[in-house]
A and B are shown apart, each in its own frame.
Chain A
Amino acid sequence: MTAATLPTKKSQARQVSQSYWSLVWWKFKKNRIAVIGGIILILMYFCMAVIPEFIAPYALERKSSFTEARPQTIRFIDAQGNFSLRPFVYGLERKIDEQLRRRTYVENPQVKYYIYFFVKGDPYKLLGFIPWDRHLFGVDPSIKDAHIYIMGTDSNGRDFFSRIIYGGRLSLLIGLIGQLLTIILGSILGAISGYYGGAIDMFVQRFTEFLNAFPDIPLFMALAAAIPKYWSPITVYFMLTLILAFVRWGGLARQVRGLILSLREREYVLAAKSAGASDSRIMFRHLLPGTMSHVIVIATLSIPGMILSETALSWLGLGLRPPLTSWGVLLQEAGTVYAIRFAAWQLWTIPFILATIMAYNMLGDGLRDAMDPYSAR
């Protein structure tokens, strides 16, 4: 039985008051920084997790002869000082650096490629089932050898910007899905532990302590190393998500347990009990909703940790492996002195990771303030 099952008359609807969550939303909206953080995240998730094929100008594995090419600058004014409303990039030209004895690329002001929106490019399936070949931006495909690499290319000549966009999908989703699993596991086990107490509580608490006592990274390493090499990349991805959730649910379970311990003595719980409510009804209808605000805040603030764990593991070579592409994988590919010295644009992944983490923290701080809408502030 929820309010939704009660028919809403129009005359009453106007007088419908503020539920807890609408108060939270109302207060959250007033916090500008948190709203900005939220918008950044929504944009990132939409662009990278939902429609990366459209946002990225090239397909993930589209190789070219331009290996480790420097980023092309987007320009409005050319070398002669002529202004063009349509932005363009200079074409890249191969050169041999005599001193270093290696190939480099320089921008050639003679060749201009104008940037168009919604250009035809590599075909893909939008959302996995809509076949399409348009990309958000690109250069005229009818010109031979036209190319646009706004963040350079990697050692296989693949567009780095496209790879960051595609890599974001896995990195962002591993945080979200992993945290979701953590919430489910942590709050259910925490609730059971706090509500029943006794031997069950003892067992759950000792188990979380056991997990927490392990240093994170070696535990991750051991678990990740146990994933068979012959598994398909997508299975590996889900196993890794599970591992991350499995190692991290303990802290959340403890917090939920503590909250349940205080909530279960409330008189409204006694009222439900005296009316004959079952244990599961008390837990899921009365106790867990009371902890949800707290859980959401903790979860939001710990998603960055999850993303960073994935990045760290992949960087160590224990997490995701090519052909899967995540930000950790990209960093791992860029993690050589050679790459940093001669292809520093491969570190463009870092600002994306930082932005994600900052946005999550901004959002989480705002949520923490908003979740207590009855406070005076």
Chain B
Amino acid sequence: MSEAATVATPSTYNPPKDGNLLLDVRGLKKYFPIQKGLLRRVVGYVKAVDDVTFFVREGETLGLVGESGCGKTTAGRTIIRLYEPTGGEVYFKSRVLSPSGEPQWVNMAALDRAQMKLVRQEIAMIFQDPINSLNPRMSVGDIVAEPMVIHGKYGPDSEQVIISLLERVGLRADHLRRYPHEFSGGQRQRIGIARALSMNPRLVICDEPVSALDVSIQAQTLNLLQDLQKDFNLSYIFVAHDLSVVQHISDRVAVMYVGKMVEMADAEELYTAPLHPYTEALMSAVPKPDPLYKSERIIMQGDVADPSNPPSGCYFHPRCRYAVDICKTKTPEFRELKPDHYVACHRAEELKLRGV
């Protein structure tokens, strides 16, 4: 592809030593302006995603958790440029933009429209709402075929491809010409999954894909996603607020609070040995299927900080049980404290925190 040659790998970017990365997000920012008055004067910004750094390895699932409004959905959408990022870099090891066919690092935040369109073949999205995410006026076949049509890849054999995709996600070939309103929530989510897979992507951003489903259907859908991951060698960014779901599906988990990344680690380690007080508080809220277990929930004081007017220093300090003076003034750095365990807390070394 000729346009691929124009994508210069920025000299400032050093591909990480970890050769297995697929996506490397550095300092991603998305500020939404607050406008007031007749002239739409900008009076401030909602810092929905504020300096977020994380990475995804090939073939793994990264869970992205946090309370509602913490910016996890916005982060997912900003990566794929549904929202234009305010700042930061999103490096992706792209195949389509590489002249040689060897995966090549590109900064998605800096691509132009045409290049971005090409990269979109490699990144797909699964949405939360199974009713709203399918156009009611289009048949299932048309919905699943749409990415192919957009990229000019719809050919005479495509219908067969779509049928096999539908069968792979647990639907039938004769569903092809039906319309979304004829399906249950779980089936609709399967249609959404089939659409996401139609261009054979390498990275799938799952935006709360099961939170609108019944619990029994949730399990089926999660298992389907895991099977597909193996078959198609997919990497997932799994945005969710349900901690047990995230624990079930994720290899690694990243925790967000008010637009900032607070901790990222291996799922097992994050759940058993959190390093950030916010993670500890979250973990104490995970329900346990043990009737004899005495819950010791950590009740956080105060409200979630306002992303348009965040507190000074560490955003979590007004609610933190362990806060000291430095937390009020200095923003903690997101650093690798233990191998592959990242945390943004001044006192991470000294605190002994409780896991699940």
Give A residues with C-beta under 8 Å from B.
1-3, 6-8, 12, 15-20, 266-268, 270-278, 281, 286, 289-290, 374
Contact = CB atoms under 8 A, between A and B. Distances in A.
Interface string B135-161: 111010110011101110010000100
Kindly list the 5 A-B residue pairs having the minimum CB-CB distance in the complex, ordered from nearest: A267-B133, A276-B120, A276-B117, A275-B147, A267-B127
Given A267-B133, A289-B137, A275 B146 contact: yes
Contact of A272 (B139, B146, B181): B146
Contacts of B117: 276
B303 to A, nearest CB: 26
Contacts of B127: 267, 270-271
Among A7, A271, A275, A374, residue most surrounded by chain B Cβ atoms (within 10 Å): A275
Interface string B55-88: 0000000000000000000000100101000000
Contacts of A1: 142, 145-146, 149, 154
B149 A270 contact: no
B49 interface: no
Contact of A20 (B80, B82, B179): B179
22 contacts: A1-B146, A6-B177, A17-B179, A18-B179, A19-B139, A267-B129, A267-B132, A268-B134, A268-B135, A270-B82, A270-B127, A270-B133, A271-B192, A272-B135, A273-B82, A274-B80, A274-B82, A275-B150, A275-B199, A277-B146, A281-B150, A374-B181
Contacts of A20: 136-137, 179
Contacts of A6: 141, 159, 176-177
Contacts of A290: 135-137
A19 B124 contact: no
B313 to A, nearest CB: 35
Given A20-B179, A274-B80, A290-B137, A7 B124 contact: no
B151 A276 contact: yes
A17 B173 CA distance: 13
A109 B135 CA distance: 70
B174 A266 contact: no
Contact of A12 (B147, B176, B192): B176
Contacts of B199: 275
A17 B177 CA distance: 7
B136 to A, nearest CB: 7
B39 to A, nearest CB: 11
Contacts of B142: 1-3
B145 A17 contact: no
Contacts of A275: 120, 124, 146-147, 150-151, 195, 199
Contacts of B182: 17-18
A12 B121 CA distance: 30
A225 B117 CA distance: 52
Given A274-B125, A277-B146, A12 B159 contact: no
A286 B139 contact: no
Nearest to B125: A274
A340 to B, nearest CB: 52
Contacts of A3: 139, 141-142, 177
B180 to A, nearest CB: 9
A290 B136 CA distance: 8
Contact of B150 (A7, A276, A374): A276
Contacts of A272: 135, 146, 150
Given A1-B149, A12-B177, A272-B146, 12 more contacts: A3-B177, A6-B177, A15-B177, A19-B137, A19-B179, A20-B137, A270-B125, A271-B127, A274-B125, A275-B199, A277-B146, A289-B135
Contacts of A271: 125, 127, 133, 192, 195
Nearest to B131: A267
Contacts of B146: 1, 272, 275, 277
Given A275-B147, A277-B146, A268 B133 contact: yes
- Most chain A C-beta atoms within 10 Å of own C-beta, residue among B77, B129, B177: B177
Contacts of B135: 268, 272, 286, 289-290
B178 interface: yes
Contacts of B250: none
Interface string B165-202: 00000000110111101100000000010010001000
Nearest to A273: B82
Nearest to B195: A271
A319 to B, nearest CB: 39
